[in-house]
Amino acid sequence: MSVHLRPARPLDASAMGDILYSFQVEVHKAPRMWSGAETIAYCGEMIENDWVTMAEKAGRVVGFLARDGAEVCALYVVPDLRGAGLGQILLDAAKQGRDRLWLKVMEYNSGAQRFYRRNGFVEVARSDGAENDENLPDITMLWQREGT
C-alpha cells in the first residue's frame, strides 16, 4: 500500500474530524459526546499542539495518529480502509526513535485491544472510567522497546 505520512496542517482538522466522528457514530457503544463541529475543533487543537501525523493515499487523507510525548492520544483510519494496514504504518512511525509508548483504550473496543497487543502493548492498568470524558471503563496499555 502506497501511503504518505506527513505532519498535520491546520486545514486537516476537517478531514480528521470526519474520521473521528464517523468512528463515534459507527461504534454503538461509544457515546455521542460531541457534534461534528466540536470534533473538528478538538482535532484543530491536536494539530496546534503539533501532535498529529497524517496518512494520505492518492492525495486523500485516510488516517491519523496523535501523540503527545509517549502518549498515543488517537489513532483512527477511514472506515473503508480499516484492517488494510494503515494503523500499523502509523503506529510503526510513532515507535521510531522511542523506547516506550502508552495509551488508553476503551474496554468495549476489543478490536483496538487486539491490534495493540499484536504490536507489543501490554495491559498495565484498568479504570472504571470516572476520569475519562466518556465515563466508560478503559485500559491503559504500554509498549516498551526490547532491552529498555
Question: Could you tell me which residues come within 8 angstroms of residue 82 by beta carbon, excluding any fewer than 6 positions away?
Answer: none
Residue type, 2: S
Q: What is the pLDDT of residue 57?
A: 93
- The x, y and z cell numbers of residue 23, run together, are 468512528
Sequence-distant contacts of 79-88: CB under 8 A, at least 24 apart = 79/22, 79/23, 79/26, 81/57, 84/1, 85/1, 86/1, 86/3, 86/55, 86/57, 86/62, 87/63, 87/115, 88/119
Closest by Cα among 70, 63, 71 to 3: 63
Give the pLDDT band (50/70/90) at residue 147. Answer: confident
The mean per-residue pLDDT over the stretch 6-24 comes to: 91
Question: Could you tell me which residues come within 8 angstroms of residue 45 by beta carbon, excluding any fewer than 6 positions away?
Answer: none
Cβ atoms of residues 70 and 102 within 8 Å: yes
pLDDT at 143 exceeding the cut of 80: yes
Q: Which domains does the chain have, with CATH numbers?
A: 4-144 (3.40.630.30)
| pLDDT tens digits, one per residue of 107-127 | 988 999 999 999 999 999 999
| pLDDT tens digits, one per residue of 20-71 | 888 877 765 556 677 778 888 999 999 999 999 999 999 899 999 999 999 9
| pLDDT tens digits, one per residue of 90-110 | 999 999 999 999 999 999 889
pTM over 0.85: yes
Longest dimension (CA), the chain: 44
Q: What is the pLDDT of residue 125?
A: 96
Closest by Cα among 77, 121, 82 to 103: 121
Q: What is the pLDDT of residue 84?
A: 86
